[in-house]
Amino acid sequence: MSAVSAAIWGLAGLAALAFLAGLWRLRKGGLTGAQEAHLRKICLSLVLKAEALYASGEGQAKLADVLSRVYPALPPLLALLLPPRTVERVIELAVQDMKAFLAEKPRGA
């Protein structure tokens, strides 16, 4: 085996390991800051839509609605690998964002 061929195989092996490490991290729910921020914006938008569709006290229906809509809004590979517990955590953060915004908003504005 020539030195060039060995170098190519070595780089291919490193690339494969990096790819697998990324998949493992994502599967464990570890999003990068930019990925989580993007997912949080998507979830906030969907939470606001669910709030408009459902009455007060229908939290489970709202959550189910948001969960059913969030995965199709994601890139296919991310949707396939992202565990539901991570999505639910980000949805909860989006709900907290919405509540904080409503608490700060002056009445009648």
pLDDT in tens, 4-28: 787 788 778 777 776 776 666 655 5
pLDDT, mean of residues 79-88: 84
What count of other Cβ atoms lies within 10 Å of the Cβ of residue 88? Answer: 15
Q: Give dist(CA 40, CA 6) in Å, integer.
A: 44
Using a 10 angstrom Cβ sphere, with 0-12 exposed, 13-18 middle and 19 or more buried, the burial of residue 71 is: middle
Rounded percentage of the chain residues whose pLDDT exceeds 70: 84
The rounded percent of the chain whose pLDDT value lies above 90 is 27
Q: How confident is the model at residue 50 (pLDDT cuts 50, 70, 90)?
A: very high
Which pLDDT belongs to residue 30? 66
107 DSSP assignment: T
User: What integer pLDDT is reported at residue 14 of this predicted model?
Assistant: 77
